[in-house]
Amino acid sequence: MPTPAGRRLPRRSSFRRAVLGAGLAGALAAGLLTATTAPATAEAAPAAAAPDIPLTNVKAHLSQFQTIANANGGNRAHGRPGYRASVDYVRGKLDAAGYTTTLQQFTYNGTTGYNLIADWPGGDTGAVLMSGAHLDSVSSGAGINDNGSGSAAVLETALAVARAGYQPDKHLRFAWWGAEELGLVGSRHYVNNLSSTERSKIDGYLNFDMIGSPNAGYFVYDDDPAIEKVFKDWFAAKGIPTEIETEGDGRSDHAPFKSAGVPVGGLFTGAGRVKTSAQAQKWGGTAGQSFDRCYHSSCDTTANINETALDRNSDAAAHAVWTLSSGTTTPPDGDVFENTGDYQIPDPGTVESPVSVSGLSGNAPGDLEVGVDIKHTYRGDLVIDLVAPDGSSYRLKNSGWDSGDDVITTYTVNASSETASGTWKLRVQDVYRTDSGYIDSWRLTF
Ligand code: TRP
Ligand code: ZN
Ligand code: CA
């Protein structure tokens, strides 16, 4: 093969990991880390574990609910502007994360109420796992524990699903109910408006109403045994004792679902009932005092939250959503390895640009993405192959009567019979004289 004049020597083959921060990628490139943390490909991934839900994020939502109440007469109650502002806040976060959101309107007490429903695209829509929380407060206060806490935990769980690129087997649906405080009005409206077919597609409903009570207990709804077990097992594994919820069966939004025959479950840290000394022994806090002394009153502010309880219950909520929907986690992007060096293509002749792949175990995926950026004055001249580490080649493009310039595209290759790690090459042949160009960059996404 002739060495064409003016051929620029390649810069060293570089790689980056799209899913890792630049700092870690730099450390890997510099050989500072011996063990890599390459995410498994979709094909190889085991059932995914739920992520830890960041308490900071949950608290940030509570601050926003407090700010909304402060700006709207001190509450977020049905029919008041603070309720609508709460809906808009939650909906904005969900829309930005890729959810399909719907506002369901109803009228109660002569005013319009809203349920906010958010569907995560994908999963079996004949097997829906729903999670919900009431978003309205009573009119006497901001309702931060009741029920900013459940609303924020469900929101942050939904956002964690999006961040993880979680692809559950079941279809996930999240709901924020209106007018719960006036008698489960929103959730009842939702359930009553489901056709029997739609209702039968809902495999389960998880309810989160008051999960950051300042003098917290750890209560699990004693309803569907499978759901109950998922929650209880999570707390047991952390060494946190739980009790069955008995402060008011049917007093929250799971009740309409339960009446319609949907399996339900949920978590609760206590309302007006008084903590016993036995409960204070095992959970800490103050015996002889309500779980939430500010229940339905003006002191239910951001100061009325037990952060440990809020953190644990948020994590338990995410764990239940993951466990009960199963599925695998695919990072939004795979690991990316690329060579950004310029390689002049002989006219005519052949050039190869290498990319060295390391840190991946097993074989390449069946949908290996090959991103190609070739600058050329007549792309019909070009034949392009991907060459695997063992030398086997995959034709990406043939020559032909295509007078367009440049090849800037992504090919998908079934490379599942190839070892992922090793040196891959992009081989580019220019089969006709006169028009010429160079490989600007190319990349492999595993
Ligand atoms: N749903 C009630 C409210 O919003 C609070 C409540 C009382 C509760 N007992 C419960 C919630 C039992 C869940 C489970 O005021
Ligand atoms: Zn309430
Ligand atoms: Ca040519």
Q: How many domains is the chain built from? A: 2
Last residue of a domain, one of 296, 324, 352: 324
| 273 within ligand 1 shell (Cβ under 6 A) | no
What pLDDT shows up at residue 328?
56
Residue 189 counted as domain residue: yes
The residues with which 445 forms a beta bridge, in sequence order, are 336, 369
Q: How far is the CA of 436 from the centre of ligand 1 (A)?
A: 73
Write the residue with the smallest CA distance to atom 15 of ligand 1. 181
In a domain, 2, yes or no: no
Domain final residue, candidates 306, 324, 342: 324
Distance (Å, whole) CA 125 – CA 226: 20
Which is the closest atom of ligand 1 to the Cα of 252?
1
Specify the DSSP class assigned to residue 363: B
- 61 lies in a domain? yes
- 182 with 112, same domain: the answer is yes
pLDDT value of position 1: 32
Q: Is the CB of 161 under 6 A from ligand 1?
A: no
Residue 198 CA: distances (Å) to CA of 119, 125, 249, 260, 412:
14, 10, 25, 11, 38
Helix crossing, 225-237 with 307-325: angle to 10°?
Answer: 130
Is residue 208 domain-shared with residue 257, that is, in the same domain?
yes
Candidate from 135, 221, 268 with most ligand 1 atoms within 8 A of CB, to mutate = 268
Q: What is the mean pLDDT of each run of 10 residues along the chain (446 residues)?
A: 29 33 33 30 56 98 98 98 98 97 97 98 96 98 98 98 95 98 98 96 97 98 97 97 92 97 98 98 98 98 98 98 79 79 96 95 92 96 98 97 90 95 97 96 95
Burial 24-53 (b: 16+ CB within 10 A, else e): ebeebeeeeeeeeebbbbbeeeeebebbeb
Interhelix angle 81-97/55-70, nearest 10 degrees: 150
Do residues 283 and 313 make contact, with C-beta atoms less than 8 angstroms apart? no
219 CA closest ligand 1 atom index: 14
Co-location of 73 and 163 in the same domain = yes
How far is it, in rounded angstroms, from Cα 201 to Cα 125? 7
Contact 399, 431 (CB under 8 A): yes
Q: Is the CB of 209 under 6 A from ligand 1?
A: yes
> b/e string for 6-17 if b means 16 or more Cβ within 10 A?
eeeebeebebbb
296 alpha carbon – ligand 1 mean position (Å): 10
Q: Are residues 71 and 27 in the same domain?
A: no
Q: Is 353 in the pocket of ligand 1 (CB under 6 A)?
A: no
CA of 75 to the centre of ligand 1 (A): 18
Distant-in-sequence, close-in-space partners of 334: CB < 8 Å, separation ≥ 6: 18, 19, 39, 41, 365, 369, 445, 446
Same domain as 276, residue 169: yes
Do 345 and 232 share a structural domain? Answer: no
Residue nearest to atom 1 of ligand 1 (CA): 252
Whether residue 339 sits in one domain with residue 280: no
Q: Are residues 317 and 157 in contact, defined by beta-carbon separation less than 8 angstroms?
A: yes
* Cα 199 to middle of ligand 2, angstroms: 26
Tell me if 1 is assigned to some domain.
Answer: no
Q: What is the CATH number of the domain that holds 355?
A: 2.60.120.260
Identify the pLDDT of residue 22: 31
The answer to the question of residue 221 being in a domain is yes
Q: What CA–CA distances, in Å, run from 190 to 186, 254, 260, 305? A: 6, 12, 11, 29
Whether residue 164 is found in the same domain as residue 188:
yes
- The parent domain of residue 290 ranges over 55-324
- Environment class of residue 310 by beta-carbon count within 10 Å: exposed (0-12), middle (13-18) or buried (19+)? buried
Total-model pTM? 0.68
Residue 407 lies in a domain: yes
Closest CA to 323 of 60, 49, 123, 122: 49
Q: Which of 412, 356, 358, 355 is nearest to 38 (CA)?
A: 358
Helices 55-70, 307-325: axis angle to 10 degrees equals: 110
Q: Is 252 in the pocket of ligand 1 (CB under 6 A)?
A: yes
Q: List 113's β-bridge partners, or say none.
A: 106
Residue ranges with strand state E in 301-420? 328-329, 336-339, 343-345, 349-357, 368-376, 382-387, 393-397, 407-413
pLDDT of residue 9: 27
One domain for residues 30 and 130: no
* Residues near 188 by beta carbon (within 8 Å), at least 6 away in sequence: 256
Helix axes 149-164, 307-325, angle to 10 degrees: 50
For residues 310 and 353, membership in a common domain is answered with no
Claim to verify: residue 161 and residue 282 sit in the same structural domain: yes
192 inside domain: yes
Q: Is the CB of 247 under 6 A from ligand 1?
A: yes
- Sign of the CA dihedral with 375 first, then 378, 379, and 385 last: negative
Residues 298 and 412 grouped into a single domain = no
Q: Which ligand is nearest to the CA of 245?
A: 1
> Three-class SS of residue 115?
strand
- Report the CATH number that the domain containing residue 288 is assigned in CATH: 3.40.630.10
- For a mutational test of ligand 1's pocket, the pick from 154, 208, 209, i.e. the residue with the most ligand atoms closer than 8 A to its C-beta, is 209
Is the CB of residue 271 below 6 angstroms from any atom belonging to ligand 1? yes
343 in any annotated domain: yes
Residue to mutate, 221, 247, 313, ligand 1, most ligand atoms under 8 Å from C-beta: 247
Q: Which of 324, 354, 379 is the endpoint of a domain?
A: 324
Task: Tell me, yes or no, if 180 is annotated catalytic.
Answer: yes
Q: Is the CB of 221 under 6 A from ligand 1?
A: no
Distance of CA 269 to the CA centre of its chain: 26
In the block, residue with structure tokens 């022994």: 281
